[in-house]
Amino acid sequence: MLSSTAEYALKAVLYLANNAREQPVRVGEVAEALGIPQNYLSKILHELARDGVLTSSRGKHGGFQLAHPPDKLSLLTVVQRFDRIAEERSCLLGRPQCSDRHACAAHWRWKAVSEQVSTFFRETTVADLMAGEAIAA
Amino acid sequence: MLSSTAEYALKAVLYLANNAREQPVRVGEVAEALGIPQNYLSKILHELARDGVLTSSRGKHGGFQLAHPPDKLSLLTVVQRFDRIAEERSCLLGRPQCSDRHACAAHWRWKAVSEQVSTFFRETTVADLMAGEAIAA
DNA sequence: TCGAAACATCATATTAACATGAGAATAACA
DNA sequence: TGTTATTCTCATGTTAATATGATGTTTCGA
């Protein structure tokens, strides 16, 4: 469903949410805890920072933190840069002749399913995915 | 949503369904009509034949035909070899700790959405996608 | 029996996703 | 002011999906 890049992003954001603290969290810690290649994760987190999902600080004691409270952060916001998951195609096959105006028998059923997926990512927040308690590093 | 390979497969099957005739249909005709690379499509159709979705015949006047009536052929059957679309992951992130037994807040909502996607592919048939009349080659 | 038309198959090329490595830039702190 | 820990950034490597090209195999029909 999600590309591995998008899944990494989501897992990392979730880790930051579950392990919130005063100081920023190092990439190395997140990478090790989640089993994600460190340099690759570094690039992903940097992109999330550029999107305003995270804040990054450089230098000693640097690292990443959530830019906003988890209940204000939708899964779509985290994932949209890496996966075009919420882009609704009215026709499963991308055919113009199968549109709302001239729909095949399956058109409306597919559209309904597709919209449910979009809605899930749009309306579910990181807080909804959080564990009850922090996970040890 | 679908890989391009799976989309090619679905489009080709649909073309064969809409253009059913006594004689088999050549790969070249399908490829040209749908704008799909011929050799690549040839490989895909061959795989569909091995899965029992199509029948192939070689030699002069050879080609491909649907092996079963379109209303007996689910989209899942066409697509499953190329995309693992209907594999339900109970957790969006593949975490074992987020299962039916120990579910996070979003678990059930995600599972419901995921099952709707599976059901769509399992229960929708090629006949449901067919145009009212045959499309000219 | 031979040639043409078609699928079957193998080898290779291209592209994008995924991943690694090395060094530059930055900030804290002794 | 220098050392160290960290992010930032670029260059490169690897792998899988996608695509192309060339050749083999089968069948029909003159």
pLDDT digits (tens, 9 = 90+) for A69-91: 999 999 999 999 999 887 777 78
Q: Residue A136: its pLDDT value, please?
A: 43
DSSP single-letter state for residue A1 = -
Residues of chain B with pLDDT under 50: 133-137
Judging contacts by C-beta atoms under 8 Å, the chain B residues touching residue A8 are none
| Contact between residue A15 and residue A126 where contact means Cβ atoms under 8 Å apart | no
Specify the pLDDT at position B107. Answer: 87
| Amino acid of residue B69 | P
- Structure token pair of residue B58: 């070689």
A64, A27 contact by CB (below 8 A) = yes
Nucleotides of C under 7 A from a protein CB: 3-10, 17-22, 25-29
Answer whether B12's CB lies under 8 Å from B41's CB. yes
Paired strand residues for B64: B25, B56
| C1’ D1 / CA A56, Å | 26
Classified as helix, coil or strand, A59 is coil
Q: Residue B22 corresponds to which amino acid?
A: E
Residue A75 pLDDT: 97
- For A111, the token pair is 């559209």
Phi and psi, residue B120, nearest 5°: -55, -50
pLDDT digits (tens, 9 = 90+) for A8-59: 999 999 999 999 889 999 999 999 999 999 999 999 999 999 999 999 999 9
The residues of A between 59 and 88 with beta carbon within 7 Å of nucleic strand D are 59-64
* Reduced DSSP (H G I as helix, E B as strand, rest coil) percent helix, strand, coil of chain A, to 5: 45, 10, 45
Please tell me the pTM assigned to this model: 0.90
Q: Determine the pLDDT at residue A107.
A: 87
Please state, in angstroms and rounded to a whole number, the distance separating the CA atoms of residues A119 and A129. Answer: 16
Residues 80-99 of chain B whose Cβ lies under 8 A from any Cβ of chain A: 89, 92-94, 97-98
One-character DSSP codes across A17-42:
HHT--SSPBPHHHHHHHHT--HHHHH
Q: List the one residue out of B71, B115, B124 whose CA is nearest residue A91.
A: B124
By DSSP bridging, strand B63-66 and strand A63-66 are unpaired
> Is the separation of the CB atoms in A134 and A18 below 8 Å?
yes
Q: What is the DSSP letter of A72?
A: G
Which pLDDT belongs to residue B63? 97
**Whether A1 and B97 lie within 8 Å, measured CB to CB:** no
pLDDT of residue B92: 87
Per-residue DSSP letter, B71: G
User: In this structure, is the CB of residue B58 within 7 Å of any atom belonging to strand C?
Assistant: yes
- Give the model's pLDDT for residue B90: 72
Task: Tell me the DSSP string of B91-108.
Answer: STT--TTSSSSS--TTHH
pLDDT at A132: 55
Distance in angstroms (rounded) separating the CA atoms of residues B120 and B10 = 14
